[in-house]
């Protein structure tokens, strides 16, 4: 039972891999399947108390891979401009930079101890909502696109602030 959440995250990675190669008529179903695996893997891990740092990392990588592939596929299909992609993944870019910085300072354990934030969960939900709106209600894309960008930027600032506070606490501890 402890491997079920990781299997679901692995399935999301597989969905990310196949997404650009399936017809657009299947995209909505892949988005729904990915959203379900994203919800279920976390829920099952918490419910069955089989959470692990490695499983959380796999979940995060699967999320980021799926979101990036879908954004690039949709932008490539002309659903919105490529210029929106970096703004929509601002939180993901911030977390990647924080992870790289923590790794370079040999502070990887500090990064491992960072819990998921509600701002990040909401930003991810907004990304999945964006995908559904683009595919089902394309006339509403601009509104949801702007909301998704704003939530992603807010989450990026939130994660950045948490990491800055952690660095400040570490610096105080060394004195």
Residues in the chain with pLDDT values less than 50: none
pLDDT value at residue 143: 95
Same domain flag for 49 and 106: no
Same domain flag for 137 and 120: yes
Residue range 119-166, pLDDT digits in tens:
988 999 999 999 999 999 999 999 999 999 999 999 999 988 888 887
Same domain flag for 61 and 85: no
Beta-carbon contacts of 55 under 8 Å, excluding residues fewer than 6 positions away, are: 5, 6, 9, 41, 45
What is the domain range of residue 119? 80-175
Q: Which two tokens stand for residue 87?
A: 């703004």
Given 62, 78, 94, which residue is the final one in a domain?
78
Given 45, 61, 78, which residue is the final one in a domain?
78
pLDDT value at residue 110: 62
- Domains of the chain: total: 2
Where is 143: in which H helix or E strand? helix 141-174
Share of the chain above pLDDT 90, in %: 62
Residue 112's region, left for phi above 0, alpha for psi from -120 to 50, else beta, is alpha
Same domain flag for 96 and 36: no
* Contacts within 8 Å (CB) and 24+ apart, 14-23: 15/66, 16/62, 16/65, 16/66, 16/68, 16/69, 16/70, 17/69, 19/66, 19/69, 19/70, 19/73, 20/69, 20/72, 20/73, 20/76
What is the number of residues in the chain? Answer: 175
3-state helix, strand, coil in the chain (%, to 5): 85, 0, 15
Report if pTM > 0.85.
yes
pLDDT value at residue 98: 79
Same domain flag for 35 and 121: no
């Amino acid at each position: 039972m402890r491997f079920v959440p990781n299997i679901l995250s692995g399935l999301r990675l597989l969905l990310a891999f196949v997404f650009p190669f399936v017809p657009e008529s299947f995209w909505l179903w892949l988005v729904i399947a990915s959203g379900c695996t994203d919800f279920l893997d976390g829920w099952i891990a918490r419910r069955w108390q089989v959470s692990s740092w490695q499983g959380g990392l796999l979940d995060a990588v699967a999320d980021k891979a799926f979101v990036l592939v879908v954004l690039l596929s949709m932008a490539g299909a002309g659903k919105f401009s490529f210029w929106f992609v970096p703004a929509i993944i601002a939180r993901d870019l911030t977390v990647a930079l924080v992870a790289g910085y923590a790794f370079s300072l040999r502070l990887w354990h500090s990064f491992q101890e960072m819990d998921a934030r509600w701002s990040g969960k909401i930003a991810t939900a907004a990304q999945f909502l964006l995908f559904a709106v683009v595919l089902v209600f394309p006339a509403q894309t601009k509104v949801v696109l702007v909301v998704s960008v704003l939530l992603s930027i807010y989450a990026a600032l939130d994660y950045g602030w948490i990491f800055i506070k952690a660095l400040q606490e570490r610096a105080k501890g060394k004195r």
